[in-house]
Amino acid sequence: MAIDASAPTPAQARAVIEALRAGIASTGVSEIFTSGQARILNAFGKLLDNQRGALAIEGGYGQGKTHLLKHLASLARRRGYVVSLVPLSKETPFNHWWHVYAAAIQEATTPEGPPGSLEALLRRHRWPDEPIQQLHAFAEANLHPRLPALLAAYYQAKDPEVEFLLAGDLLGQPVTNAAIAAAYRAATGERVKLPPARLQQTGLDYFRLTARLFELSGYTGWLILFDEFELVCKLGTHARGRAYANLHTFLRNRPLSGLERVIVAVTLIDQMTSDYLVGGKEDITRVPSHFRGRAMPELAADAERTIRWLVQSKKPLAPLSAGEVDGVLDRIAGLHELAYGWQRPEGRFYVPQLSAAERMRTRVRFCVETLDLTRLYGETPQVETREAPLEALHEDEEIFTVPEEVTVIEVEL
């Protein structure tokens, strides 16, 4: 839910506060956290103007990277872009095109629609429509033969169950070549022989097809936001290198056909650079050498270009000044009053006295919980914060470790 910065409603304010309390990034919340990020916003604005390109955003845990991505998504939708926000995970490894495509398309949101908008967009068109005929011609000329056959079978299918099955393939639930060929014959009366398709590679063709569909349907372009790109470091050397090479697909000076209006943004933590890219495992030399030793010079070159781009072109998330932090917390306090119809006591009791290194996430949590307690009990609580030392936490043995900050909040009423 986006909020009207000048006059939010109580319902909008409540949605923001509840999202903050739950630690959930939302569009309404993201608009609060854009202070001090002019450099990133200006760079992103140029990408929107050019309708293509890529942006890498670096920042520590809890500094607001996901909130910023939500804001970028909102800006892009206002400019007519389809937007996908994709958190990377073990289920969405960046080295596998199909998994990345499936996640991106399931999260795709048109300016006027909810996530999963592709299905409604597919139903909007008919086989004789000019955009679909152009899309089919593009697929025949540039993509794996299963895709033009899939389009022809989907739009000429007479069986709703077959139509549903084929739509599922475009939405990230793959069907076999045999199923597509059978549907094609039933719909057109003609046979088609489809060569084998490896989804790890063919998934890129699905990106190209869908991006062109968005363009032909009148949208400005497709913005794909990949959150937590540092998770590629969980992969082995070969898979990690493929992930870097895959990202290079969106960095090319001359984009692949179909990707001319695609913008990509990735977020990463600063430890990725120091522990993997140019330090620690030194992927900048290790990964290209790995591919050259296996006679894969193109993958070696693409991976190295991506690593250099990440190191040299990433935009650090600017830490907020003390005044900007206070302004954010004041804004939250005002929304809290509006959300629950109460008046807070005088003074900025909701602003914690913490070190400059404290995460913004901790400050926001302090602010919301203090306001909640004050509203609930009718008096300002006495709050003390202190750090609880913990051993470094290891998620697994193959990825760098980052000690998690733990803040203990003691309340006396």
Report the share of the chain in percent with pLDDT over 90.
Answer: 67
CATH number for the 36-119+217-316 domain, one of 3.30.70, 3.90.70, 3.40.50, 2.40.70?
Answer: 3.40.50
**Domains in the chain: boundaries:** 36-119+217-316, 128-201, 322-412
Checking if the pLDDT of 393 tops 60, the result is no
Q: In the prediction, which pLDDT does 64 show?
A: 80
Kindly state the average pLDDT of the residues 91-100: 94
> Rounded to an integer, what distance in angstroms lies between the CA atom of residue 81 and that of residue 296?
36
Mean pLDDT computed over 165-170: 96
Res 398 pLDDT > 70: no
Q: Is the predicted pLDDT of residue 212 greater than 90, yes or no?
A: yes
Please tell me which residue, 154 or 388, carries the higher pLDDT value: 154
| pLDDT of 115 | 62
The neighbour count for residue 286, using CB atoms within 10 Å, is: 16
Q: SS3 of 162, please? A: helix
Q: Is the pLDDT of residue 386 over 70?
A: no
Confidence of residue 88 (pLDDT cuts 50, 70, 90): very high
Q: Are 171 and 104 in contact (CB under 8 A)?
A: no
**pLDDT at residue number 399:** 44
For residue 363, pLDDT over 80 is answered with yes
Model pLDDT, residue 25: 62
Give the pLDDT confidence of 134-145 residue by residue, as tens digits.
999 999 999 999
Residue 134, Cβ neighbours under 10 Å: how many?
14
- For the question of whether the overall pTM of this predicted structure is more than 0.85, the answer is no
* Confidence category of residue 402, pLDDT binned at 50, 70, 90: very low
Report which of residues 98 and 324 the model is more confident about: 98
How many angstroms separate the CA atoms of 12 and 4, rounded? 8
Give how far Cα 340 sits from Cα of 52, 143, 185, Å: 43, 55, 61
- Among residues of the chain, what percentage have pLDDT more than 70? 86
pLDDT score, position 317? 87
**Which pLDDT band, with edges at 50, 70 and 90, does 101 fall under?**
very high
Q: Greater confidence, 93 or 357?
A: 93
Residue 406 pLDDT: 44
Is the pLDDT score of 403 beyond 80?
no
Position with higher pLDDT, 224 vs 361: 224
Q: Distance (Å, rounded) from C-alpha 411 to C-alpha 413?
A: 7
Which pLDDT score, from 0 to 100, does residue 16 have?
A: 87
**Mean local confidence (pLDDT), 65-83:** 92
**For 5-44, what is each residue's pLDDT tens digit?**
557 899 989 988 998 888 776 666 666 666 668 889 999 9
Q: Which residues contact 247 (CB under 8 A, 6 or more apart)?
A: 54, 94, 229, 264, 266, 306
Six token digits for residue 368? 């919301």
The amino acid present at 181, given as its one-letter code, is A
**Rounded mean pLDDT, 188-213:** 94
| Interatomic CA distance for residues 350 and 334, integer angstroms | 11
The residue-averaged pLDDT of 333-360 equals: 85
Is the pLDDT score of 408 beyond 60?
Answer: no
220 close to 261: Cβ distance less than 8 angstroms = yes
